[in-house]
Structures are given as structure tokens and as C-alpha cells.
Amino acid sequence: MDDINFNVATISDVWEIYQECRNPKMRESSIRTRNVIYINHILPYFKDVKYKDITVTDIDHWHGLILRKNLSEVRLRAIHMSFSALFNFVETRYEVLGNPCRIAGTIGSKKRMKKMQTWNLEEYQRVISHVTNKTYKMAISLLFWTGLRKNEMYGLTWSDLDESGCLLDINKAFKKETKSWSFTGLKSSSSYRTIAIPKFLVDDLIEYKKWCEKSKGKIKTTDFIIPWSKQKLEDAMREGEQGAGVKRIRVHDLRHSHATLCLNSGINIVAVSERLGHEKVSTTVNIYNHSQKQHEAELITWLELQNSKTTKLREAI
């Protein structure tokens, strides 16, 4: 695999080596996304071109062709960065210097965060009171009170719940890979975590479990807490929103709602970051900077109050 002559190797040759080295370290979904980019946007232009012959001018010309496809800014950047990653790989592994993509500069731009839609506590309580499906009412409660990702919730089995300790062990996800649904690893090492949950949520889970046993028979520890359904969770949210007259949000926004509730209540952002399974606290800060700005305003109000007290004290003296 390492025996390659870059004087004669084509982009197709280097691409094959790149896949052999990188694929074992990547999630299947990431591999599929990268492969689509190469097959549709890179190899049609460069597959038979010798690696050593690609110049900055070639990259500029390729950029022009890609820009005519009327793709999103985010997609354009992903295409450019994918090709640049191939040159970075060769530089690092084979010490063959030169990345014409880096010199040409990127196209497109990073994803812009849309205005976050969340439910506050009052809105959640109004919504949940209008949900009639007991299973997905439990699912909405789990997501709102834990901040789990949807696939993490679907990966929960009853063995992951510590009733006496009020703990949930997040150790797997349940999601679609290719054409089938199966258990998979989590997003990153920090996503493997054990989180504390409130006693009332444990009590709700115990009652829900009793209901499951009464309606479906004996529950095994390996059974899913929430069975996967493509549509029923969203249907339950729409039912609750319409009944309560509350704004519509996505399933993933329940995670944002949990984080925002915690941060607005003054919970330390490091604790919130660990609870969400983020690799870096900076990720949490970047996503929820709206909450931090609110805290900054509260801080300024507090400082103004302290100054006012100090001024009155000086005047009294």
C-alpha cells in the first residue's frame, strides 16, 4: 500500500490508497458522504490526471465548474475540503509537499446556524399534556429532561437504567446504516457517558414500564425503552404542539431545549457540556451562545446594582 510512485500515480491511484487508510477510522455514514463527493464532483475531473501534475490553475478551473452546479455554500465548501484532505493526507503520510487546494483557497462557506427553536418549561408542560400516545409521550419527556440525541435515546435498553441510582448509561445508538437499522457506536468517545436523571423521570419510566408489561407482556432487560419509529415521535410532537398552541420544533430541538433550560437556570456550562456528550466545552459555547449573552446581560444588571449600593453607602457616610 505504501509502495507508490507519485511521478506516475493518478488521482484514482491515490484515492484508492486514501480510502484503505482512512476508512477504518471513519463512521460508515461519513464514508458514504465522502464517497458521494468524490464520485460526483472530483473523480469526473481528475481521476486520470497524474497527482504531481495538478496545479493551482487546475484547481481554480475546477472551482469554476463546480460553482456552475448551483450547489449550496455548505456543499461547495465540503467538496473543496474533501479534495484538500487528499493532498493533506499525502503530505503527512508520504512527505510529498504541496497542496494546490490550500493555495487556491476555499469556495463556499461554513454552515450558518439557524435561529434555534426551543420550548421553555411552560411550553413543554403544555405540549406534553396534549400527547396521547404513551410511548412517545415518554420519549418526548426523556429527550427534554436528558438532552439525549434521538439515536442515543433509541439505543437505550432497560439494562441502561439504574432505578435506585437515578442514572442512565448512554453506551450505544440505534440508527440507519446503509439500508438497515442497527446498534452502532456513539458519535465520539465523549458521547459514552452516564448521566444523572431526576427522580420524577425515573418514577415516570417505572410507571411506563409497568404499562408496557401490562399491554405487551414481560419486559426483558435487553428490550428497547422506546421502540424505533420513523414517524410516531414526530406525530406525537405535532399533536402536542397543535393542542397546546405552541410553536413547532424539530425532534433534535428537544436536546437544545434541555441545554437552554439548564444554562438559563445558571447550571455550569462545563457540566452541561459533559451531560450533552460534547468533546469540547467550546462546542457547547458556540451552539448556545444566545444563553451566554443572556447571562452577560444579567451580569451587567448585577454590577449596576452593586455600584448603586456602593454609591448610596458612600453618600450615607
Residue 173 · residue 185 · CB < 8 Å: yes
Residue 77 · residue 106 · CB < 8 Å: yes
CATH architecture of 11-104: Orthogonal Bundle (1.10)
Side chain identity, residue 121 = L
CATH number of the domain at 121-291, please?
A: 1.10.443.10
Query: Domain segments of the chain: what residues?
Result: 11-104, 121-291
- Give the C-alpha separation, 132 to 190, whole Å: 35
- Give the C-alpha separation, 246 to 297, whole Å: 27
Helix (H, G, I), strand (E, B) or coil at 111: coil
- Give the C-alpha separation, 11 to 21, whole Å: 15
* Angle in degrees, CA 312, 314, 317, rounded to 5: 110
Q: Is 239 exposed, middle or buried (0-12, 13-18, 19+ CB in 10 A)?
A: middle
HSE of 38 in the Cβ direction (CA atoms, 13 Å)? 19
What would the 3-class secondary structure string for 266-312 be?
A: CCCHHHHHHHHCCCCHHHHHHHCHHHHHHHHHHHHHHHHHHHHHHHH
Q: Which of 45, 47, 50 is nearest to 65 (CA)?
A: 45
Q: pLDDT tens digits, the chain, 317 residues: what are they?
A: 567 888 899 999 999 999 999 999 887 878 999 999 999 999 999 999 999 999 999 999 999 999 999 898 889 999 999 999 999 999 999 988 889 999 999 998 876 556 778 999 999 999 999 999 999 999 999 999 999 999 999 999 999 999 999 999 999 988 765 556 566 778 788 899 999 999 999 999 999 999 999 998 899 999 999 998 879 999 999 999 999 999 999 999 999 999 999 998 889 999 999 999 998 998 898 888 766 566 666 667 767 776 776 655 556 55
Give the model's pLDDT for residue 91.
Answer: 92
Give the model's pLDDT for residue 150.
Answer: 94
Give the model's pLDDT for residue 224.
Answer: 93
